[in-house]
Amino acid sequence: MNQFLTITHSWIEEFIIGRDICPFAAKPFFDKRFRLVVCQEKNHADFFRKEQEFLIQSTLESLSNSFLVYPFATDSFLDFLDFYYDCEAELSPNLQMVCFHPHFYFESTDKKARINWVNRSPYPSLHLLRRDEIAAVVTDQSMGERISKANEHKLEKMSEEEFQEMTSKWQT
């Protein structure tokens, strides 16, 4: 595994799964139905299209979701967000996508708020998920808000030392 995959894999396992940031991530991750791939192409949009098609053509039994890492993409969160919106315009109706970035922040929060770390990743990344699979595990519309509140509580109750130790691992 190259350094980008190694660091991102560790972040997913230790932070996203280990801290239960996403309660749905563990099963496909440990069942090896999770694709983690690094874009080494100059054309990031072409890479997105190829990976989207790969996921669509794969069976759910063999591949649940894909995490696309763009280590050579812009350091600007807002510029990467523009790229995310461009990809979203081409996104299959059978998929949904989540944006991750080292400088991610939710529009309604202070950039330094801990809750932003839920979507802060070591490198700019896009996570492609199958809508049907999400619908099968999300039991009601308020589930996302409950998960978000639980994550905010987890991050806020960490001591400053524990929070700094955890977040320093993922700053590249």
- Give the model's pLDDT for residue 1: 54
Cα 137 to Cα 15, 21, 134: the distances in Å are: 21, 15, 5
The single residue listed with the structure tokens 């993922």 is 170
Q: What's the pLDDT tens digit per position in 11-57?
A: 999 999 999 999 889 999 999 999 999 999 999 999 999 999 999 99
pTM: 0.94
Q: Which helix (H) or strand (E) is 157 found in, with range?
A: helix 143-157
How many CB atoms within 10 Å of residue 167?
Answer: 15
**CA-CA distance, 126 to 11, in Å (whole number)?**
14
Give the dihedral sign, CA 13/14/18/19.
negative
Q: How confident is the model at residue 9 (pLDDT cuts 50, 70, 90)?
A: very high
Q: What's the pLDDT tens digit per position in 53-110?
A: 999 999 999 999 999 999 999 999 999 999 999 999 999 999 999 999 999 999 989 9
The single residue listed with the structure tokens 């997913």 is 12
From first CA to last CA, the distance across the chain in angstroms is 17
Per-residue pLDDT at 167 exceeds 90: no
